[in-house]
Structure 1
Amino acid sequence: MLKGDIYAKIAPENIDRITRIIEAYENVGIVSTADRKNGLVIIRGTADTYEELKRILLNMPFRVEIVEEK
């Protein structure tokens, strides 16, 4: 995992939604699904976009639990 990557757990039905929201913030990060059944996603950012990405995730219109940061 690279600096800037964030593992997060969300409701599985929100995976497509979080992907679209992050994509709308061009060049902030890319969402990859690690475990669709359990709602585990990896948001791949950079050291430069990390703080903005974290702020976006913590203000989603649904629950986002950050489970690991590197």
Structure 2
Amino acid sequence: MLTKIIEAYDHLGIVSTLNRQQGMVIIRGTVDTRPELLKILVNLPFPLETIENK
């Protein structure tokens, strides 16, 4: 579901699965797309935890 939501917004990021059993994914975006990605993620209909790598 997350992949389809992010794909619906053109060029915001690329979703890849890190651990299917844990439901862990990574979304690769850019500095320019980060604010919009975060806005989308906090409004999703399921809980999530963000881990930022700077």
- TM-score > 0.5 by shorter chain: yes
3-state DSSP of counterpart to 2:16: strand
Between the aligned residues of both structures, percent identity stands at 57
Displacement of 1:26: 0.7
Figure out how many residues of one structure are paired with residues of the other and give that number.
53
Q: Which runs of 4+ in 1 moved over 3 A?
A: none
The answer to which structure has the higher strand fraction is 1
**Structure 2: which amino acid aligns with 1:69?**
E
Q: Does 2:25 match 1:41? A: yes
Structure 2 regions of 5+ residues with no counterpart? none
3-state DSSP of counterpart to 2:27: strand
Structure 1 regions of 5+ residues with no counterpart? 1-16
Equivalence for 1:4 = none
TM-score (norm 2): 0.91
RCO greater where, 1 or 2, for CA within 8 Å and sep 6 or more?
1
